[in-house]
Amino acid sequence: MAQAAVRTGLSPQEYLDFERSSPLRHEYADGELFAMAGGTLEHSAIGANILGELRNALRGRGCRVLTSDMRIKIAATRRYVYPDGAVVCARPEFEDEQRDTLLNPRVIVEVLSDSSEAYDRGDKFAQYRTLPSLEEYVLASQKAPRIEVFTRQPDGSWLLRIHGPGEHAELSSLDGALDVDRVYQDVFERDAMGEAPQDAP
């Protein structure tokens, strides 16, 4: 989740020089730096659960599951972003010898929040779609057990599938799936009746 711009007029290299010496993380777009805001308990737990499930599913298969610390460059638009998670299965390609800016993710994961949902679904997804390596984009709600998977089709279009409680979110690019119930296990506080939030429309 990014806040308002904190610096403007920087070149990509100036951004990288600044970012590598900064204790805080910033995304970069059109010469502007945007400080990354913290997330809620639910946001953090869902993100951690997804990455854990992916790590278990992909163990020994040559893929690497990456946390939100890995910066991704969107070369077509010269943007630098920090998704909530990513998977790379081919040999990782990097911006430079620092190996801290990935160029070729196969899967990108974002956990939605009130402040970032429109961006994650709109402009950010449009930016991600320019990555030739990207095959699937995963969006997870932090309000209810719901995982959306956008899968790139052979003709370049994207197919959306939505998964709720009791279902498995298929990730065809990884030949695997996310168990929705496991991703959301122990994430939400239960109400007075002992019920956790159900899938929202």
- Entry pTM: 0.90
* Mean of pLDDT values over 48-65: 96
Do 111 and 84 contact (CB within 8 A), yes or no? yes
Q: Do both 144 and 156 map to the same domain?
A: yes
Burial-class residue 96 by CB neighbours within 10 Å (0-12, 13-18, 19+): exposed
**Overall number of domains in the chain:** 2
Q: Answer whether residue 165 shows pLDDT above 50.
A: yes
- Report residue 91: phi and psi, to 5°: -60, 125
Q: Do both 150 and 86 map to the same domain?
A: yes
Q: Do both 160 and 113 map to the same domain?
A: yes
At 8, the pLDDT band (50, 70, 90 cuts) reads confident
Looking at residue 182, its amino acid is: R
- 116 inside domain: yes
Residue 12: give the domain boundaries: 1-38
At 37, the pLDDT band (50, 70, 90 cuts) reads confident
Q: Round to whole Å and give the CA distance between 131 and 88.
A: 13
* Residue of 76, 91, 65 lying closest to 171 (CA atoms): 65
Q: Do both 174 and 150 map to the same domain?
A: yes
- 191 inside domain: no
What does the pLDDT read at residue 129? 98
CA torsion through residues 69, 122, 131, 29, sign: negative
- 199 inside domain: no
Q: Do both 18 and 80 map to the same domain?
A: no
Q: What is the CATH number of the domain that holds 76?
A: 3.90.1570.10
Do 106 and 174 contact (CB within 8 A), yes or no? yes
- 9 inside domain: yes
* Mean of pLDDT values over 171-187: 96
